[in-house]
Amino acid sequence: MLVGETSQSRKRTAADRIRPLFEIADPTWAHERITGRMSSGEGLVYPIRDPIFAMRKGEEELVDAGVSDKRLMLDEREFFQALAVLKREGNTVSRIVRDAWDCREMIGSLTKHSPIRATNPYISIVGHITIDELRQTLDHTSMANGYANRILFTCVRRSKLLPHGGIQDEKITGLLGARTLEALTIARGIERVTMTPAAERYWIDIYTELGKDTPGLLGAITARAEAQTIRLALVYALLDQAVQIDIVHLNSALAVWRFCEASARHIFGDTVGDPAADTILRALKGAGANGLSRTDIYKLFGCNLAAGKIDTSLILLLNTGKARRTNTKGAAGGKRPIEMWFAV
């Protein structure tokens, strides 16, 4: 997931620069297996569907030959639209994406009226979104059910100003395309990738670090550190035309993961994933050293949010170290102490 501040991050340009390499390395995939618009679970499975049969006159008959090439890349240039789809009642996109990431043998829907499924699918997703859109549209459910931590979030920005646009060197493009083709050809002949003895020992050492428990929303977003890192290491090994993952591949994978982890911290580090709690936290930060009383916090929601929900949100902020509370003496006359809240 490429996450930028605005259009100035040139997120779309990144995809346009890479596409020519794959037009050399695998033109069929580049021209026929890339699509977008994650509108529904069925729509996601349809481009890689298995043959579909139906009963006609008491006999099973082939009504759709299906698609033999099970590779699919979703190039989602406006990923906030895909996240909005997840909130629709009954939508199965989240479940199917999670099943695909988990390498389930079969994904799709087996309902009576829509028996679309895909066996042994190979799905990849690249999304583009701004930080504000991501924070606003990624809901608590997606964070809690593991959809979000199957995504590698990467903060991006424009690296230089080019008034006349960048010029892509055709020789370099041709060279990288040819090397990618060579790596793909060799990788397709490898049945299993293992680790070198040195990499196995190194992996044991770093596994504990990757598996450390991080509290709060950031912990939920980065909970699959081990799985993401080993998959990246596998990719680096295959690009290196190696049949074993070595230390150099693990270090390359770790560098990518640490950048993604830092990106997630930048994007989600000041949120807890609870809409009410996040609203309160933003207000507390805005209040600064003056803080907010509990009455002020009730007014944030127009006094329309249940007191119990506000209490739960405040305790969440307290337990995650995002906020602190103090009690100050009330005015003369025996009034109760005033409870004040401050952002940490």
Q: What angle do CA 215, 216, 219 make, to 5 degrees?
A: 65
Q: Give the residue from 314, 307, 301, 309 showing the smallest Cα distance to 342.
A: 314
Q: Is the pLDDT of residue 122 over 70?
A: yes
User: Is there a contact between 253 and 233 (Cβ–Cβ < 8 Å)?
Assistant: yes
In the chain, where are the structural domains located? 2-164, 190-269, 275-343
Rounded to the nearest 10 degrees, the angle between the axes of helix 79-86 and helix 93-101 is 110
Q: What is the pTM of this model?
A: 0.81
CATH number of 2-164: 3.40.50
Q: What is the mean pLDDT of the chain?
A: 88
Beta strands in the chain (DSSP E): 2-4, 34-35, 52-56, 59-64, 71-76, 106-108, 117-119, 122-130, 154-155, 194-195, 244-245, 292-293, 323-328, 338-343
Q: Give the residue from 225, 257, 181 showing the smallest Cα distance to 24.
A: 181
Q: Is the pLDDT of residue 334 over 60?
A: no
The fold of the 275-343 domain, in CATH, is: Arc Repressor Mutant, subunit A (1.10.10)
Q: How confident is the model at residue 297 (pLDDT cuts 50, 70, 90)?
A: very high
More confident residue, 78 or 164: 78
* Angstrom distance (rounded) from CA 120 to CA 70: 7
Contact partners, residue 43, CB within 8 Å, separation at least 6: 37
Rounded to the nearest 10 degrees, the angle between the axes of helix 197-210 and helix 247-268 is 10
pLDDT digits (tens, 9 = 90+) for 24-52: 999 999 999 999 878 888 889 999 999 98
pLDDT of residue 82: 83
Q: Give the residue from 75, 84, 223 showing the smallest Cα distance to 143.
A: 223
User: Is there a contact between 123 and 113 (Cβ–Cβ < 8 Å)?
Assistant: no
CA 281 from chain center: how many Å? 24
* Angstrom distance (rounded) from CA 148 to CA 36: 19
User: Is there a contact between 249 and 199 (Cβ–Cβ < 8 Å)?
Assistant: yes
